[in-house]
Structures are given as structure tokens and as C-alpha cells.
Amino acid sequence: MFYSNSNKLSQNWTAIARHWQCCKQGKLSSVHGDIFYAHYTPRNPRFTVVLVNGRIESAIKYQELLWELIQNDIEVITYDHPGQGLSSRLLNNPQIGHIDDFVQFSEVLHLVIQTLVLPNTDKWLFMAHSMGGAIVCDYLIKHPESPAKGAFLCAPMLQIETAPYPFWIASGIAKFACYLGFDKHYAIGQNDYQAKPFADNELTQCEQRYQRFRTLYQQQPELQLGGVSFGWLNAAFPVTQKLSKAIISKPLSIASAKYDTIVKSEAHTKFANKHEQCTIQTYAGKHELLCEVDPIRRAVLMQFYEFADSVTLNETGS
């Protein structure tokens, strides 16, 4: 398998950017606004990955990964969630991360699958990061008949880190604030996009990849997204509670980050232990394992490739 290396990012970036430009890009019309997507098919794809990104992210942030997957003959379909990235923003202040109901995320994912995936392939699986993991799990609960072969979940948002408040207080504050009509306002401690210095970041230990991300968002400010609204929290908390009790029938594989301060990694273990068809590996990384230092990132991708082969080559995994 081909793996991208952080120390060669600068010299490879021309090829990575050229590949991004070669991707088929467009927008799907939805009741939640225009949804940006990117789609690339190699000449002889082994299988298809539906890449579902996390909060504040955009498909363009994953240029390195998309380029890498194509080198390994993997077709990729990815998109931006409503309210972020290059998709339509939902509030007058485009910086506020907001959603009225978490089901809106699942509805858009369903649209992407019906429009871009099912007409083209029957050998496909999910790769999802953080909030994307919660969206995929919620989708699979709502659509147990889905022909997806399985889901690879990278630091999935199964339980949100609410420190310094315990969950019940954070949940109560969000619900009460929405009751008072502040659902579209920033939650406590949230504000517009801020580019933290590498030394203070909670996302990755890889300085090269972190600086690429920050430079991209500086060059294209339309990608920037700030903190979450009370409404986003009030929509997300019940979903994570539901996921802690639900059972998904599809094969699952979880990559969990030991030093995660965005989501609670202990929820990953509890979730995996409840699912017979779920494996889990824990890595000494921060939240964004797909943007981590090379040894961790390569191990995570090895886990993904092994899982993908096991479910796409074994038709009983459907």
C-alpha cells in the first residue's frame, strides 16, 4: 500500500492539489441548502469509500488522504455537511456551527448515497471522523437495510467532552437556552473561528499537517467555522445518548485516540464491547488520527485497509 509522508508533503503538494482539481466537484440541491461534494474514480477501483468528515471540516481539508486513497485504487465520494465547508451556511452569521435537528445530517447523507453512491457501485463502505462517525451510526440505525459493507469510525463522536461541566449540566443548560430562544446563539465559551498556535492545539501532534490545515483555512476564509450553538448541542446530546444504547448490525471498526480531548475515548470501548461485529484499536494520538504523525496515521490507515478488505472481499459482510 502507498502511504503519504508528512516530511514529503511540501514536494508532493503540487500533485495533491492537481488531483483535487481533477476530482468531479459539484453541489446537490437539498431542503437544507446546497451540498458540496467531491468524487474521484480511479481506472480500476477495488471498492468505494464514502468519506464523512467531522465538525468544522470540509472535503478540501482531506486532499492528502484523497490523493493517497486514489494511489491505492480506491474510489472516494465525500461531501460537506449543511452549515459548514463549501455547503450552504444555515445562519446569518456563517461562523456559528448550528443544526436544528441532528436528523438533518442523516438526511443529507442519505441524499448523497442515493444520488452519488448507489447508481454507481454496490461495493462500498463508510470512513467517518468524529461528528461524521455519529452521523454514520445514526444513519445505519435509521437505515438497517443499507447495502453499505460496514463503517470505519475514526475518533467517533459517541460522547462529547463537556468539561468543565458534567454532561447532565451541559445538557440542561443547552436545553434551557433553547427554551429561552437562544438556540441560534453561540453556546457558553464558543466564538468565531480562531487559529490556535500548534503548541496549543487539541487536534494533532503533526505540525506539518496542522499548519497545512490552518494555512488552507486562512487562504479560503469561506471554509472557516467557529464554535457551536446551543441548538447544535441540544441536537447532538440526545443522539450520543441514543447511540450508547443502540445496536448496529453492520461490521464496524473503531480507531480511538488516547489523548482525545474533543470526544470521550472511553465511550468507544463501551460501544465496541456491545457490538459483536466491532473491533477497536487505540492509538497514542490526539483527536484527528487521520492527520496525525506518520507512525500513528499509517497504523490507523493499515487498520482501515484491513477492515475494508475484510468486508468488501467477503460478501457475507453485506
Averaged pLDDT score across all residues of the chain: 96
Q: For 42-86, what is each residue's pLDDT tens digit? A: 999 999 999 999 999 999 999 999 999 999 999 999 999 999 999
DSSP category for residue 115: I
Give the residue-averaged pLDDT of 220-237: 98
Cα distance between residue 141 and residue 151, in whole Å: 12
Give the residue-averaged pLDDT of 120-141: 97
> How confident is the model at residue 314, as a pLDDT?
63
> How confident is the model at residue 316, as a pLDDT?
42
Q: For the chain, what percent of residues have pLDDT higher than 70? A: 98
* Coil, helix or strand at residue 128: strand
Confidence of residue 165 (pLDDT cuts 50, 70, 90): very high
> How confident is the model at residue 313, as a pLDDT?
86
36 conformational bin, left if phi > 0, alpha if psi -120 to 50, beta if neither: beta
Q: Bigger pLDDT: 51 or 316?
A: 51
Q: For 291-312, what is each residue's pLDDT tens digit? A: 999 999 999 999 999 999 999 9
Residue 170, CA atoms < 13 Å, CB-side half-sphere: 20
Give the residue-averaged pLDDT of 25-41: 97
Q: How many residues does the chain have?
A: 318
CA distance readout (Å), 89 to 33, 36, 86, 191, 223: 8, 11, 8, 16, 10
Determine the residue type at 247. Answer: I
Give the residue-averaged pLDDT of 4-17: 96
What number of other Cβ atoms are within 10 A of residue 7's Cβ? 8
> How confident is the model at residue 105, as a pLDDT?
97
Beta strands in 97-251 (DSSP E): 124-129, 151-154
Long-range contacts of 162-168 (CB under 8 A, 24+ apart): 167/237
Cα distance between residue 115 and residue 112, in whole Å: 5
Q: For 239-293, what is each residue's pLDDT tens digit? A: 999 999 999 999 999 999 999 999 999 999 999 999 999 999 999 999 999 999 9
The 3-class SS string of 250-302 reads: CCEEEEEECCCCCECCHHHHHHHHHCCCEEEEEECCCCCHHHCCHHHHHHHHH
Contact indicator for 97, 225 with CB cutoff of 8 Å: yes
